[in-house]
Structure 1
Amino acid sequence: MDIKKVTGVYFSPAGSTKTVVETTVDELARLFKAECRYISLNTPSDRAQEYQFAPDELVVFGCPVYAGRLPNKISPDFARCLHGEGTPAVALVTYGGRAYDNALAEMCDLLIKNNFKPAAGGAFLCRHVFSDKLAAGRPDAADLSELRMLAQGAALKLRSGGEIKPPKVPGDAQAAYYTPLKTDKTPAKFLKAKPTTAMVLCEHCGLCAKICPMGAIDPNDPSNIPGTCIKCCACTTYCPSGAKKFDDPDFLSHTAMLEQFRTEARKENSIFL
């Protein structure tokens, strides 16, 4: 198959998924000697646009896992704004160590419904946005090497000719979301939790409002969050003064539960061709 362009499409509020997509795209562009480009779906204005992809284009789509699936407040935008023309694709999900559950199956299903042809998929470890202790340092050099291996496998599959068969990935695209738990194993109810702002530290730079994927933060008063928070942690990750944090008790208990049951053994990525 003659690939003329490799395009990376990502939803990556905290940055790690972007790294995963870029590494894969760079290797595929090298292998196919094709030009490459990137499309961010991080902000509402990004997702308000429509994107059409050609049959001789290869799309690498990446998104973090939210409670075992794609983020429910964002995935309808993916379905609306991404359109293939029998376009080959690589599906990538990232997660912080618990499990990716049904997210990769859901992504492949979304791509197929939007006239893409998934040729490969992967679930890769990235630092959990809730805690520096979870999947710390991931993706690391070994992960990036595996992404290049995935790219090489996808390129070989596409060059072999014939029908592009989707990879057999685990999970159920229609399954329910995982229910977060507290340390006492009861449900953690932090759906409406929002980050707090230490105004004594806030520099009023407006960055948090600018990068919020939901446009939820008042740019004139960053302590005011009238919109929906999806706990992506973009604001807590990138606030230059460390003024943003989550202090909701259930959120903190769920984070502690995840930390409590983490393992020191390296968790491996999953690749499907």
Structure 2
Amino acid sequence: MKIQRIRLIYFSATGTTQKVLRCMGETLAQELGAAVQEDDFTLPAAREQTVACMPDELALVGTPVYAGRVPNVLLPYLKGQLTGSGAPAVPIVLFGNRNYDDALIELRDLLEAAGFRTVGGAAFVGEHSFSDILAAGRPDAADLKRAEEFAHALAHKVRTLECVPEQPVPVNGQTPIRPYYTPRDRQGNPVNILKVKPKVNDRCDACGLCTEVCPMGSIDRTDVRKYTGICIKCGACIKKCPQQARYYDDAGYLYHQHELEEGYTRRAEIELFL
């Protein structure tokens, strides 16, 4: 199979998914003699655009894992704005050191339903959006080396295919897809942080960067202390703030953050599928 273009299609609020896909894309482009095109759908305006891939394009489609699943706010885009027309594709998820649960199989099935034919899959680890301790600095050099090796193997597989496979690539996960992961307190009660939003401290100089990086467009451009929409706890406004002016003080959020940091200190492993 001759591939003319590598399509990097991703949502990456804090840059971890983008980092992995760019690493793989560069290697694949060299191996397959193909051009690279990025379709970053992190910001709201990009999710209004249709992305149509052709059969001679290889699509790497990446999303973070939220509560063990593909973020539900991305489902309208993945179901309605992305089409494959038989193009080979690789679903790639980034999880924050706990587990990716059913996110990879969910993304795979979404791509298959959109007309792609999946030829590989991967679950990488990225620094958790809630923390600068959990999987700190990942994907790191070792992760990116694995990404390069996977891309080499993927290039070999694609080159030797006479046509796209009829069956989707086998990946870990369950079907039917399980419910979103729910944090619980020590008494077993659910910890609901859906409506929690970051606070703003006195270090804020109203530079407005947070309004530009919010994937939901939910921070008021005229008053950065106000919200005009939902918060998905992606971490973009906190991790990218030059003044470290945004923070959480909600008791349930902090409990869950500390629970993750204390319970998942091991180095989670990457999982790759061909």
Output aligned runs, 1:194-205, within 5 Å. 194-198=197-201, 200-205=202-207
Give the whole-Å Cα distance in 2 for the aligned partners of 1:62 and 1:45: 18
Give the whole-Å Cα distance in 1 for the aligned partners of 2:187 and 2:139: 30
Output aligned runs, 1:192-271, within 5 Å. 192-198=195-201, 200-264=202-266, 266-271=267-272
Over residues 100-158 of structure 1, what are the superposed CA-to-partner deviations in whole Å (9 max), with x where a residue is unaligned? 00000000000000001111000011111111111122111111111112112211211
Deviation, 1:181, is 2.6
> Unpaired runs of 5+ in structure 1?
none
Bigger mean CA deviation after superposition, 184-193 or 114-123: 184-193
Letter in 2 for 1:267: A
Bigger mean CA deviation after superposition, 79-88 or 153-162: 153-162
8 Å CA contact 2:98, 2:268 repeated in 1: no
| 1:107 aligned partner | 107
| 1:188 aligned partner | 191
8 Å CA contact 1:181, 1:257 repeated in 2: no
Q: 4+ residue stretches of structure 1 with deviation over 6 A?
A: none
Give the root-mean-square deviation of aligned CA atoms: 1.3
Over residues 7-28 of structure 1, what are the superposed CA-to-partner deviations in whole Å (9 max), with x where a residue is unaligned? 1011000111110111111111
* Residue-pair matches, total: 271
The reply on whether 1:9 has 2:9 as its aligned counterpart is: yes
Output aligned runs, 1:132-147, within 5 Å. 132-147=132-147
Over residues 3-50 of structure 1, what are the superposed CA-to-partner deviations in whole Å (9 max), with x where a residue is unaligned? 000010110001111101111111111110111011111111010011
Sequence identity, in percent?
42
Bigger mean CA deviation after superposition, 157-166 or 140-149: 157-166
Give the whole-Å Cα distance in 1 for the aligned partners of 2:246 and 2:186: 24
> Unpaired runs of 5+ in structure 2?
none
Give the whole-Å Cα distance in 2 for the aligned partners of 1:113 and 1:123: 20
Q: Give the SS at the match of 2:8.
A: strand
Q: Give the SS at the match of 1:147.
A: helix
Over residues 41-88 of structure 1, what are the superposed CA-to-partner deviations in whole Å (9 max), with x where a residue is unaligned? 111101001111111001111110000001011222222111111011
TM-score (norm: length of structure 1): 0.96
| 2:169 aligned partner | 167
Give the whole-Å Cα distance in 1 for the aligned partners of 2:255 and 2:187: 9
8 Å CA contact 1:183, 1:256 repeated in 2: no
Give the whole-Å Cα distance in 2 for the aligned partners of 1:209 and 1:184: 38
8 Å CA contact 1:47, 1:78 repeated in 2: no
Give the whole-Å Cα distance in 2 for the aligned partners of 1:63 and 1:29: 21
